[in-house]
Structure 1
């Protein structure tokens, strides 16, 4: 093959019914072209696959789907690893995958993997965000372990892909194989580790012509029954129902909609005792807002947890209490439309509407109550236009809008985003410019702000570097539909890195990077952040992982957020500091594996230090049963932080000690690749004792305060347990059963014994129990249309003769 020439595979059409059984007995496979000669990705980049482990793949297609047949030879079939897991968990197993790009634009791939245990994984790859396995498609696969290795047969319907409406299709194509026992990864078209963008290195799939794709209309109705109970009230039930709709507007654009959403079985949040000036950011666990959202993440303007979030608009008097405040605001509906034209223009629209929610507020002195709107009827909207060009670059326009009914705050944010790469993917110029506008109503001034970011870097080779800067004006605010912790600052960075591309005598992989960053307050010019960070990440010849690093902040920095004062020029002086960590993770191929991570930070201040460790043993009893335990300990000595404002509006801080224990246990038992039991347990205990009360001074220092006597110690005790059973009884159709119990206890007065706090978490009036059963059923319009039942009602009937 000539230098720079891409591998090409020619596919052929079939009218034969293909049974997905891993046996390849249909005659259509006989004359199909073969993709072979795989090359190693890691650890020895570019090395040809051994003859005893050769891999041969064929592709055919019809008007509804493409079909893949892979023969994966192995000279030691008895050693093929095949752990059963939940979907999208790669775990300890061999894998085969197909990577498809219907536009062949080098920027996005739909990736479909199946393990030697038959477990499916699927995700979307983009150059900017890497692999995103929150996306789930509906496709079919089957594997067979043989005396020469194993085989994979896959059917991927066109509904799971995106491609232009052209009579003759040219797709980007790659195949992937992982031989887990050797920790070796291979691809058909070489993924050169000198080049950061993987999609641009795909081969070519040709031969798909004149396909007449069926109507893409899928209905997924669901019904859920919930039972709730705690020690302070009787058990009660709730029946919910709704539907998801997926409609292919054409081969490129898709509409996803949810009617009467139900997110009651989503994973619990890992809540923490938050003593910072900023809110805690949570992972999005609701499938609708995680699946296929790569287009909507352009510009980092979208934090989907805002949709349905309980707001904090209410202003309460000291003697008032909210009686019935909900944890979330119910959604009425939500939809998203996304796709891309044949000219590379991606268009995305996401919209959600939450209902008006009111709460009762009680006057604790008189007992009287009043009704107050907690959240008005609210519309959330995101619009994205993303133009790709030259197979490796893009420019995007993004707009987010939140409109609240009545005299409530409205917000609008727009962004111009660019990601430009040289023809050989050697250099990258990326950045964005954002503009925010907030209509506050209530006689408050509207807010207008800007933010910007730029980056220039070398993105290929062993040595790489990047330089860039960030800026945010005083009034930049995208928090209505995004999340942003800071404004009124500007900063600059310089990063460099080195990696080996092939193993040496000591390491299979080696990567090191040096990051330098400095940030200034716009108004005063004071340094808000400044550090140099050196990290090393290595894998040895036994595939054990070692990571270690250090961060030095050599100058005093000034925190303008911790004072939490209306006087935005108040600040706290943070002394110089030094941080170091070490991370060890043994090879997960072993039945017993261990992760260890000690860390420490020393401040240039007497007795002020943070330290702790994480230890996480895991044991795989069999391919079906595994347990992972994680224990985290963190201690902060002589930490200084805000606690209150006194009656004279002085800012009160405290010198304090904080200790946090987090215990988690994860377990899984898989009956097969469709049925799984999963256990997720978390006990979190964090307490803070204040021992010196301080008043913040104008110079950022402190003066001892002897008059403030209110107890501001904190103790947070959290317990969560989820036990789930899931059964994928048909493609896209699932039964899930959940038992959950949880509690949350916060107090100012407490003891410091772990055993006592653990018992309190399990034995208290706030311990909640939830039992739920949910059934989702996937309906393909085409299957219904072709059924006898459907035809008996739709076909014209002949008149009977007498």
Structure 2
């Protein structure tokens, strides 16, 4: 109790220093008892009687200027016992020029669009945002002032769009089950409307947003008039069934049927329970695997919906890398030199659940728990073919707990804990963080940081900690930031998070200039000057440093132009590349730069082009490459994007091996080619075909073998004869069909094939490498998945009628 009182007093003291207020624009709504048909006609009597919200203002590029009369926008709001309705008339002098590309859900594509931002608590902290394109595409996001937009959040709502002779009309019905608001007789909600005229790249809002201030959600308007509504029972069931047919040239084709259930339940008006029983992630996007020659693991994006939806609370402090859940852990297996273990993929996830939300007092609570199964692998003796079994992953429980207290609309204090508990004698891990993010009353200055501690329970117990502090000016044309961080040697978060470097302290700084309104040359322009220094704590040597300047701009034709130059003027002492304690490799000074051009995507043909290069001073050692990606929109239904990346490293230096007396480094030449194709064909906004293809080829040829000396330099090694060259190729192809046949309900058909190969023989012929990739190596999977969304409120009506 004493700790709770102390925490409350601390919040009150900070609240007296950090406040935000401004004059609010408002609109009132009226209740309707009519049956509103979502047909973009707005012809019901209730629409004619509703108050109009108009007088939109430019967000960008001409911030603060009134919307031109020819693009006048009028919005009306109605409400009923179970939903809120939005009707918008969006005028356009040239309706035939309105962009309206058909794309799949949650993708705007090249389209005009309209959006509504709703904050049921009117606290300036969290908005549920709903967008509709001129082609009737739906996009919804969950916006928080600390994390920005979370596009993985999905809700069930209705919309329609129709092109007219004066522009286009949008009509929306958003059930209360998709929103959060308090149990009060009279509701006062935060509200804003958004419109983008895509061909002009003009963005407008109903409630003005001053771009000199970073606090967007705190500048929303007010919605009044909603009375005597009840927070609905938010219970959603999503049963699903999937069938997989898989095989390869070396394995027989086999079929597998899976089924499961997702549950979403609103515990109260603020908090939601999400649970998955018998998870099925077989149709998630493939990983872009690369040839990784560095000392750190490759980090992958999270593609599993459960771990991407509504996870803003769990991302606090960067302590959660959800790919750890279901990943084969890097545990000590005590294998003999003549033993090898079978290849093990992901560990099966038995179940997972999360509780998250925020109450009317600004307290956000997040609780995530997942359990993975015990996994046994086969170990083979290479000398006599005998086998034995070994437990590579015990029954494991993963847990994240978060308390995030927001106050005064623009500040927060966060407590977060992550815990991994493994059954038996395997290691356990616990990490705790206390974080803060404070802004002054005018949102012009920010102070953020925190402290974190970790505890590992293993054969050797370890305890570590991390502390950081950052200060920034966050408004105006000129802005700056300063910060510092310390991380102890034994700070360890990799059981449920991801972190590569420890045992250092660092300092960083940034100053930047931006234009707030267009000038004669640019619609947007920003230039940044950054610096970073990282020191290895035991010796105070620089292990990482960089100065860079970069600019980002959009010209009057809405082409994006960027450039950057960086220099590392000091020797860096790399304590990670040697893969041995207290050993380092000295990286010399280097400098480099890049250019970036991205033409206006509104045009049918557009292209992205980025050349880059880094040169090590006083050595014939460099890396250079180019990214090229042309795209063509054949019609509003069909588009194609091709991507090509070439990356070359000349005389790159890196670790290849270690023996009892030496750490072996090599000078190597490396060439990497990546080709990709993505394409879509949309029959409607609910029915889409998608193609995704990626071919990656990387080869690294060692030219000179060296020993790493104690002073971090290299000396020739003439006796090492093991071939450590690398030739790696991978191929992925996905062809999918998706049909949203009912709100929240989807059928998807996916054909996938993939292959990869690795050897030590360098073959620089592209054709033969490409053909070898598919030789007895191609895996095929055909899957069909159906998910059906059941809303308890609708289901009980079905039962009553029955």
Counterpart of 1:477 in structure 2 is: 492
Question: Structure 1 residue 791: deviation in Å?
Answer: 5.8
Asked whether the equivalents of residues 183 and 231 of structure 2 are also in contact (C-alpha less than 8 Å), the reply is no
Pairing 1:661–2:680 present: no
Cα deviation digits, residues 176-198 of structure 1 (max 9, x gap) = 10000101111111121111121
Cα deviation digits, residues 478-521 of structure 1 (max 9, x gap) = 11111111100000111011110111111111011111111101
Cα deviation digits, residues 164-215 of structure 1 (max 9, x gap) = 2222222211111000010111111112111112111111112222212331
Asked whether the equivalents of residues 594 and 610 of structure 2 are also in contact (C-alpha less than 8 Å), the reply is yes
1:778 pairs, out of 772, 778, 789, with 789
Asked whether the equivalents of residues 165 and 252 of structure 1 are also in contact (C-alpha less than 8 Å), the reply is no
Pairing 1:292–2:307 present: no
Extract structure 1 runs of 4+ deviating beyond 6 A.
Answer: none
Counterpart of 2:12 in structure 1 is: none
Aligned partners of 2:461, 2:486: CA distance in 1, in Å?
A: 21
CA RMSD of aligned residues (A): 1.1
Asked whether the equivalents of residues 546 and 568 of structure 2 are also in contact (C-alpha less than 8 Å), the reply is yes
Asked whether the equivalents of residues 194 and 460 of structure 1 are also in contact (C-alpha less than 8 Å), the reply is yes
Question: Structure 1 residue 101: deviation in Å?
Answer: 1.4
Aligned partners of 1:92, 1:343: CA distance in 2, in Å?
A: 40
> Any idea what SS the aligned residue of 1:30 has?
helix
Question: Structure 1 residue 649: deviation in Å?
Answer: 4.0
2:603 pairs, out of 590, 593, 607, with 590
Pairing 1:89–2:107 present: yes
Pairing 1:265–2:283 present: yes
Structure 1 segment 235-314 matched on structure 2, within 5 A: 235-313=253-331, 314=333
Structure 1 segment 687-698 matched on structure 2, within 5 A: 687-698=699-710
Structure 1 segment 608-619 matched on structure 2, within 5 A: 608-619=621-632
Asked whether the equivalents of residues 351 and 382 of structure 1 are also in contact (C-alpha less than 8 Å), the reply is yes
Cα deviation digits, residues 352-403 of structure 1 (max 9, x gap) = 1111111111111111111111111111111000000011100010000010
Task: Mark the runs of 5 or more structure 2 residues left unpaired by the alignment.
Answer: 1-20
Asked whether the equivalents of residues 63 and 213 of structure 1 are also in contact (C-alpha less than 8 Å), the reply is no
Question: Structure 1 residue 470: deviation in Å?
Answer: 1.1
Cα deviation digits, residues 324-368 of structure 1 (max 9, x gap) = x33101111101111112111111101111111111111111111
Structure 1 segment 510-659 matched on structure 2, within 5 A: 510-565=525-580, 567=581, 569-646=582-659, 648-659=660-671
Structure 1 segment 60-71 matched on structure 2, within 5 A: 60-71=78-89
Structure 1 segment 413-424 matched on structure 2, within 5 A: 413-424=431-442
Counterpart of 1:709 in structure 2 is: 721
Counterpart of 2:685 in structure 1 is: 673
Task: Mark the runs of 5 or more structure 1 residues left unpaired by the alignment.
Answer: 793-802
1:318 pairs, out of 320, 337, 344, with 337
Pairing 1:400–2:418 present: yes
Cα deviation digits, residues 272-325 of structure 1 (max 9, x gap) = 0011111111000000000000011111111110111112223432221223x3
Asked whether the equivalents of residues 183 and 230 of structure 2 are also in contact (C-alpha less than 8 Å), the reply is no
Aligned partners of 2:177, 2:356: CA distance in 1, in Å?
A: 13
Cα deviation digits, residues 40-85 of structure 1 (max 9, x gap) = 1111111111111111111111222211111101111010000011
> Any idea what SS the aligned residue of 1:509 has?
strand
Aligned partners of 1:105, 1:501: CA distance in 2, in Å?
A: 27
Counterpart of 1:799 in structure 2 is: none
2:777 pairs, out of 756, 766, 776, with 766
Please, what TM-score do these two structures have when normalized by structure 1? 0.96
Aligned partners of 2:477, 2:755: CA distance in 1, in Å?
A: 50
Pairing 1:750–2:762 present: yes
Aligned partners of 1:401, 1:266: CA distance in 2, in Å?
A: 26
Aligned partners of 1:63, 1:396: CA distance in 2, in Å?
A: 36
> Any idea what SS the aligned residue of 1:590 has?
coil
> Any idea what SS the aligned residue of 1:786 has?
helix
Aligned partners of 2:600, 2:47: CA distance in 1, in Å?
A: 38
Aligned partners of 1:42, 1:758: CA distance in 2, in Å?
A: 47
Counterpart of 2:17 in structure 1 is: none
Asked whether the equivalents of residues 143 and 150 of structure 2 are also in contact (C-alpha less than 8 Å), the reply is yes
1:80 pairs, out of 98, 108, 112, with 98
Aligned partners of 2:468, 2:316: CA distance in 1, in Å?
A: 13
Asked whether the equivalents of residues 308 and 329 of structure 1 are also in contact (C-alpha less than 8 Å), the reply is yes
Question: Structure 1 residue 655: deviation in Å?
Answer: 0.6
Aligned partners of 2:145, 2:361: CA distance in 1, in Å?
A: 19
Structure 1 segment 222-233 matched on structure 2, within 5 A: 222-233=240-251
Asked whether the equivalents of residues 165 and 342 of structure 1 are also in contact (C-alpha less than 8 Å), the reply is no
Aligned partners of 1:523, 1:33: CA distance in 2, in Å?
A: 68
Asked whether the equivalents of residues 63 and 214 of structure 1 are also in contact (C-alpha less than 8 Å), the reply is no
1:450 pairs, out of 465, 486, 495, with 465
Aligned partners of 1:202, 1:790: CA distance in 2, in Å?
A: 41
Aligned partners of 1:315, 1:634: CA distance in 2, in Å?
A: 38
Asked whether the equivalents of residues 689 and 737 of structure 2 are also in contact (C-alpha less than 8 Å), the reply is yes
Aligned partners of 1:365, 1:402: CA distance in 2, in Å?
A: 37
Aligned partners of 2:424, 2:138: CA distance in 1, in Å?
A: 47
Aligned partners of 1:549, 1:214: CA distance in 2, in Å?
A: 52
Counterpart of 1:100 in structure 2 is: 118
Aligned partners of 2:691, 2:456: CA distance in 1, in Å?
A: 44
Asked whether the equivalents of residues 512 and 534 of structure 1 are also in contact (C-alpha less than 8 Å), the reply is yes
Pairing 1:723–2:707 present: no
Size of the alignment, in residue pairs?
781
> Any idea what SS the aligned residue of 1:783 has?
helix
Distance 1:271 1:315, change over 3 A: farther
Aligned partners of 1:307, 1:362: CA distance in 2, in Å?
A: 27
Asked whether the equivalents of residues 120 and 189 of structure 2 are also in contact (C-alpha less than 8 Å), the reply is yes
Aligned partners of 1:127, 1:712: CA distance in 2, in Å?
A: 49
> Any idea what SS the aligned residue of 1:169 has?
coil
Q: Higher mean Cα deviation, 190-199 or 466-475?
A: 190-199
> Any idea what SS the aligned residue of 1:209 has?
coil
